[in-house]
């Protein structure tokens, strides 16, 4: 009894984070595969993009950031993955710089070094391969299209989007939106998170500990919030590169 009390005091004293790290090699229990809608990302970041599919943002353990700051990113270790990375995990802030690897470096340092606590992802190559594999296995973009959830000037309800995802994967996603700067009574679809357990089985994202909101890219303004079920959702169509007008044309119809 005495030692149990001591242990309990120790827990309180050290804080659960420090102690659990000592006791368990792997702190996290869930992986969040985050997809972003490039149009919305670029609306927030003032970039331009013609990426017309849900691209990969990251594969994030639900606990831990920058778990090993000495494990530096080395792009040459994932040279063979580059064609896939550029296509499905593009750095939307640097679309024309094919040598830019800063986005992936950021994802590796902040999240990959934590994912790497699991043997299945304990190298840079394994981590990025796994993210690409999960992304391709889900085919979220195709799933939404097959349920007629497509970019449109009309609006969707959160329920419609959730149901489409549920009917394909049978789990709860986390759906994030951005508030328009203009204070319109709508929200803009921004990120879709699908969650996996450490064995890469699909799980509900809203399980305990599964809800984190992270800053996006190195300097990302983290404008994403869980979408409000009471407000209609705008899923912005692709703004072609040649229509240069800043954000003027972005919310053209329906307002
Ligand atoms: C951190 O990374 C370095 C460099 O790869 C490695 O030698 C070290 O074992 C890692 N530490 C932990 C705790 O994983
Ligand atoms: C990056 O990895 C390559 C291939 O293994 C290796 O030759 C190179 O020395 C590494 N660079 C750094 C800075 O560690
Ligand atoms: C998926 O939808 C079904 C039917 O509407 C519902 O019963 C179930 O709770 C939903 N599952 C999740 C994980 O949202
Ligand atoms: C990031 O934002 C900070 C603060 O707004 C700014 O000082 C810095 O120059 C930005 N860095 C980049 C790379 O844009």
Q: Which ligand is nearest to the CA of 221?
A: 4
Rounded to the nearest 10 degrees, the angle between the axes of helix 16-23 and helix 2-14 is: 110
Domain that holds residue 55: 29-253
Ligand 2: residues with CB < 6 A are 74, 76-77
| Catalytic sites, residue numbers | 57, 107, 111
Distance linking the first and last C-alpha atoms of the chain: 67
Give the total number of structural domains in the chain.
Answer: 1
The pLDDT tens digits of the residues spanning 138-163 come to: 999 999 999 999 999 999 999 999 99
Q: Is residue 164 part of a domain?
A: yes
Q: Whose CA is nearest to atom 1 of ligand 2?
A: 74
Q: Whose CA is nearest to atom 13 of ligand 2?
A: 74
Residue from 119, 109, 111, 112 nearest 25 by CA: 119
Q: Does 71 sit in the ligand 1 pocket, CB within 6 Å?
A: yes
Whole-number pLDDT of residue 5:
44
Q: Is residue 160 part of a domain?
A: yes
Contact 207, 195 (CB under 8 A): yes
45 CA from centroid of ligand 1 (Å): 34
Q: Whose CA is nearest to atom 3 of ligand 1?
A: 71
Q: Is residue 16 part of a domain?
A: no
pTM, 2 dp: 0.80
The pLDDT tens digits of the residues spanning 45-86 come to: 999 999 999 999 999 999 999 999 999 999 999 999 999 999
Whole-number pLDDT of residue 239:
79
The upper half-sphere exposure of residue 65, i.e. CA atoms within 13 Å in the direction of its Cβ, equals 5
DSSP state of 89: S
Q: Is residue 3 part of a domain?
A: no
74 CA from centroid of ligand 2 (Å): 6
Q: Is residue 235 part of a domain?
A: yes
Q: Is residue 82 part of a domain?
A: yes
Q: Is residue 44 part of a domain?
A: yes
Contact 179, 231 (CB under 8 A): no
Q: Which ligand is nearest to the CA of 67?
A: 1
Which runs of E-coded beta strand occur in 211-255? Answer: 225-226, 233-235
7 pLDDT band, cuts 50/70/90, is very low
CATH at residue 44: 3.90.730.10
Q: Is residue 72 part of a domain?
A: yes
């Amino acid at each position: 009894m005495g030692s149990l009390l001591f242990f309990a005091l120790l827990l309180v004293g050290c804080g659960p984070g420090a102690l659990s790290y000592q006791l368990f090699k792997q702190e996290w229990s869930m992986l969040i595969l985050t997809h972003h809608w490039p149009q919305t990302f670029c609306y927030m970041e003032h970039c331009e993009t013609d990426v017309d599919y849900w691209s990969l943002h990251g594969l994030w353990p639900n606990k831990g950031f920058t778990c090993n700051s000495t494990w530096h990113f080395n792009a040459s270790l994932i040279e063979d993955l580059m064609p896939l990375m550029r296509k499905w995990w593009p750095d939307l802030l640097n679309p024309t710089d094919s040598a830019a690897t800063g986005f992936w470096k950021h994802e590796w340092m902040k999240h990959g070094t934590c994912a790497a606590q699991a043997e299945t992802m304990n190298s840079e190559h394994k981590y990025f391969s796994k993210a690409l594999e999960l992304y391709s296995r889900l085919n979220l973009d195709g799933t939404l299209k097959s349920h007629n959830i497509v970019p449109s000037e009309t609006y969707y309800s959160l329920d419609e989007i959730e149901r489409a995802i549920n009917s394909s994967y049978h789990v709860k996603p986390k759906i994030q939106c951005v508030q328009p700067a203009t204070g319109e009574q709508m929200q803009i679809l921004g990120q879709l998170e699908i969650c996996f357990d450490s064995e890469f089985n699909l799980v509900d994202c809203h399980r305990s500990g599964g809800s984190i909101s992270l800053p996006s890219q190195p300097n990302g303004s983290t404008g994403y919030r869980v979408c409000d079920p009471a407000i209609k959702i705008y899923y912005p169509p692709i703004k072609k590169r040649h229509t240069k007008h800043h954000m003027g044309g972005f919310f053209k119809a329906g307002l």
